[in-house]
Structure 1
Amino acid sequence: MLARKVVTRRGRHFRGYFPSRKLRRMVACESLLERDAALLLEVSPGVVSFQEQPAVIQYFDGQSLCDYYPDFEVVLADGSVFHLEVKTTAKLKSRKVATKFAAIATHYQERGLGFRIVTEQELQREPLLSNAQEVDYLMGKTSRPLPSFHELRSDLGADTITFTKAESTLGRDTVLHLIAHGLLGCDLTQPLTGNTLLTIQDGGRDDTVFL
């Protein structure tokens, strides 16, 4: 349940939804940068779930109590939880904004809670963003059940294999589908080429978080 309504008819900025297969619902976003964040959370194997506008946080700004609505709550595969704020680097250069988020960060730190701020520098870096867009798109184009480690090893013939060989055996769509679900591990921050090494994840999912 959202702490406040995200998508309204007011304002001149982007308001829209990101279709999440991981959550099986539409995720409300207040900016294109938030949509990019939702995409990276979606394809991060180490992210179990995420929730936009999850709560209202009351923090002390030095003079009074203020309300803060984090953009996302993120639950990781290791059980940890953190709140995520999405801001442009331009906005963070404002003294008023910087002072506000310094107070918010202190609030989280004093309570032992996780808090992160990400900008376009993390969310829109290439080739990660393009790779994430391709993975997300192709995830919806295959209904093949996810195989076990032993089934994958039998299909591929090795625990580590090049992208070209995996693609020739399983098909590109299936390879990207397995990468997105953390069953095949690779570095999506690097270009996906025929020589990219893929590793079958044994004993659990890939804990990678792409932000």
Structure 2
Amino acid sequence: MRVRYRAGDGAIVDTTLDRLTADEVVGGLPVRDFRWRKGQRHYSGWYWSSTVERLVAYESRLELARIMLADFDREVIAIAAQPFQLIGADGARIRRHVPDLLLVGADGGVTVVDVKASDRREDPGVQALFAWTRETVATRGWGFEAWYGGDARLLANVRFLAGYRDRRLVDSALVPAVREAAGTGSRIVDLERALAAPMLLVRPVVLHLLWRGELTADLTGGVLDGMTMVRLAAGAEAA
């Protein structure tokens, strides 16, 4: 199985899947060039990932949503967009396919992700392509995920928290006090009242710690606001 990827210096590298490493892909650039034009159907752009601390490209809002979920997931330690092009036989035809994402887990596992709108789930062409991709990357010991969207409330709350993902934008001196005040459970407004610091400084720290997973909350039950219950995550005491 042939693979093409773009190294960090922009050079295109041709190799085989059995020789490809996730580190090479994560350290490189998107294999596909991005073009923006008036009237294009998809919304493309760049997302700053707190996981890899650099920009990650996306070609649609749905793809952006999956990248944000990966960035929010503490079990994901690396993200690469349009990571490589697979070139190989599928029966009598030769396929050339660029998956949307490659995710590296804290356990060393690698997952290749393809993103499609939910109305394409039953498309025979999409199913055939995804089946081929799944079987192909499995020969490398990698997993495959076909993602058609997620829980709307979770996505909305994660999108909101993403605005507080950069640790440089919060008052780090307040972090220990917020962790201690959260304890086994507190509404965000009560936590703010318990601290001798302006709410405008405290709430960004709360939201940043939720993003980092040091505080936890139910992000699927409703809108994240001052009445949301938060608590210290297991193991956060040592963070």
- Give the TM-score, by structure 2 length: 0.71
2:206 paired residue among 158, 175, 181: 175
Maintained 8 Å contact 1:82/1:114 = yes
CA distance in 2, matches of 1:147, 1:200: 17
Q: How does 1:102-121 map to 2 (within 5 A)?
A: 102-120=131-149
Following TM superposition, by how much is the alpha carbon of 1:36 offset from its aligned partner in structure 2, in angstroms? 1.4
Q: CA deviation at 1:85?
A: 0.8
Which of residues 132, 138, 155 in structure 2 aligns to 1:129?
Answer: 155
* Aligned with 1:186 (options 205, 213, 217): 217
Q: What SS does structure 2 have at the residue aligned with 1:177?
A: helix
CA displacement at 1:204 relative to structure 2: 8.7
Tell me the residue number matched to 1:5: 32
Aligned residues: 201
CA distance in 2, matches of 1:38, 1:195: 25
Question: How far off its partner does 1:197 sit?
Answer: 4.0
Question: Given that residues 39 and 133 in structure 1 are in contact (C-alpha distance below 8 angstroms), is that contact kept between their aligned partners in structure 2?
Answer: yes
How well do the aligned residues superpose, as a CA RMSD in angstroms? 3.0
Whether the 8 Å contact between 1:3 and 1:56 is mirrored in structure 2 is no
Q: For structure 1, which runs of at least 5 residues remain unmatched after alignment?
A: 207-211
The 8 Å contact of residues 185 and 200 in structure 1, kept in 2 or not, is answered as yes
Matching of residues 67-86 of structure 1 within 5 Å: 67-86=96-115
Say if 2:174 is the partner of 1:143: no
CA shift in 2, pair 1:181/1:157, >3 Å: closer
| Conserved? CA contact 2:100–2:113, under 8 Å | yes
Residue of structure 2 equivalent to 1:200: 233
* Partners of 1:153 and 1:201 in 2: CA distance: 15
Q: Distance in 2 between matches of 1:198 and 1:154?
A: 8
The 2-side partners of 1:154 and 1:138 are apart by 16
Identical positions, percent: 25
* d(CA) in 1 for partners of 2:182, 2:172: 19
CA gap of 1:21–1:158, structure 2 versus 1, over 3 A, is closer
Describe the shift of the 1:134–1:187 C-alpha distance in structure 2 as closer, same or farther (beyond 3 A). same
Quickly say closer, same or farther: Cα 1:79–1:159, change in 2 above 3 A.
farther
SS state at 1:175 partner: helix
Question: For the residues of structure 2 that align with 1:204 and 1:45, how far apart are their CA atoms?
Answer: 16
For 1:138 and 1:3, the matched residues in 2 are separated by 26
Post-superposition shift, 1:79?
2.6
Q: Is the 8 A contact 1:3 1:69 kept in 2?
A: no
Question: Measured at CA, do residues 181 and 195 of structure 1 come closer, stay the same or move farther in structure 2, by a change above 3 Å?
Answer: closer
In structure 2, stretches of 5+ residues that fail to align are: 1-27, 196-201
In the other structure, the counterpart of 1:27 is: 56
Q: Secondary structure at the match of 2:152?
A: coil
Tell me the distance in 2 between the aligned counterparts of 1:160 and 1:44: 22
Change (3 A) 1:104 1:78: same
Q: Report deviation, 1:88.
A: 1.0
| Distance apart, 1:64 and its partner CA | 3.6
Structure 2 letter corresponding to 1:56: Q
